[in-house]
Chain A
């Protein structure tokens, strides 16, 4: 694995007149490395179905929710790939692809392109190559990953703190004060939990952990967040030992 990316950096020092390539920046990353990553994107078997040719019409941007809130453009994603612009594709893998919500509204492209699908591939390549942007993007998810892997459920009621979910409104604060009471008011007993979404059997948890282990999901976490990986391993080793399972 090669550590290549340097975060959003200063403008490239390349020939200022050659703005087509220099606009992408990241001049400290060799072009050959950017091309290698782009080749990896293009080599994906889905690539041909996700990109035909781009009219540059902007319908994908018009329907893109992320484009309304971020400096993100599915058109530019498709264009950069169509133009075989490895510099710009690299820039997007560092800066843009994490702003896509993967809703795939962009598939209404008249040419049949799937810019969101290109983002999927680019994300996978970014993660597989350990780009710093992938780590940064996943930091926000580390709490959720930890939750899923250690408890078997994703968002738990006690995560719904006002500071973490301001968009949920003022009710979040009211609910969190007497969370346990609110939860016990729910009819199904399996929902009388606060630190997990619902009651999860230990055997389910072990099973999930083994799936993540064998599919390589844990290795990916090790790549992007070694400390999270260390905690998870420790927690799960204990559980596995309790269950008498050896890996």
Chain B
């Protein structure tokens, strides 16, 4: 390793794309992943299909992993965390702790691809009983069921007849402190709702929402088919609480466009939990000394036209480390970060030579 290496921290879709991108344009990358496997959240949380089109997640992510591990320009370190950074832009030294103990590596630039974590629906003021009722689950819990092609109520193993999604759990909430929109949950919930309707055809599926944010082609590729072809019921109004009623769940809210309060019995309630910065994002941001916003995401300081440059020279960030992002955003900003990092190293080298 040397100062013409780019260190990529995080081996999810963003980190994989960045590392592969660096290799593709002739650079060398050091990919550092805390977990003992690559692939990030889609693999860790057993995603079924990728939004929007629902291609099976595992083979798609595996192809990214294979591209990286097959690149001579990329060195991969798993089960490894960065514990310190020293030096200066263009000549950093990373201290890492891994399976073989502590080690150091030199790099000229760093890309943070440290991603997000899902909001913990047991936190704060949530009244949804996630830790109380087995049939209250999250988007990622359901995603995991979908990848096994088996949607059942955790309480009794029966297919649910009535399922509802509650949007904006942990997002757009001043009390919780996450005022932002998590951007992907509307699309993911709608995609999952379609899959539930397909796997349990006699089920009735509701989505309770504040606004449906199905930007771009998600509108006609997910939202319209969910409503028109799969008869998913979209009701504008957020659920205030989930209660037990017999062996079912009672959800309470307002059907705002109909102007009436409602209480409906459900077999399963799916909480559309939003995105928060992962512990790794917060920790690495502090360690690298980059500016974070009030939520803990990394600030891209030159937005809107430069989405990956951070407050610290030589340090770039991509994907959900920067804020809520879907996979398309993530791989796009990752490729952008790869390009910026290599351009940074080359411009320094050119300046040194002249």
Contact = CB atoms under 8 A, between A and B. Distances in A.
A17 B263 CA distance: 6
In terms of DSSP, what is the predominant structure of the interface of chain B? strand
A19 interface: yes
Contacts of B227: 52-54, 82
**Chain B: number of interface residues, binned into ranges:** 10 to 19
Contacts of A20: 255, 260, 262-264
A84 B231 contact: yes
Interface in B253-290: 255, 257-258, 260-264
Nearest to B204: A84
A111 B231 CA distance: 15
Interface string B201-235: 00000000000000000000000100110010111
B153 interface: no
Nearest to B264: A20
B236 interface: yes
A133 to B, nearest CB: 21
Given A52-B228, A53-B224, A53-B227, A19 B263 contact: yes
* Most A C-beta atoms less than 10 A away, residue of B255, B258, B264: B258
B143 to A, nearest CB: 24
B231 to A, nearest CB: 7
A79 interface: yes
B260 A23 contact: yes
A83 interface: yes
A138 B260 CA distance: 31
Contacts of B236: 56
Interface string B231-252: 1011110000000000000000
B213 to A, nearest CB: 13
Contacts of B264: 18, 20
B258 A76 contact: yes
A147 interface: no
Contact of B261 (A19, A52, A53): A19
Nearest to A84: B231
Contact of A19 (B224, B231, B235, B260): B260
B257 A75 contact: yes
A75 B260 CA distance: 15
A181 B233 CA distance: 63
A20 B262 CA distance: 5
Interface of B: 224, 227-228, 231, 233-236, 255, 257-258, 260-264
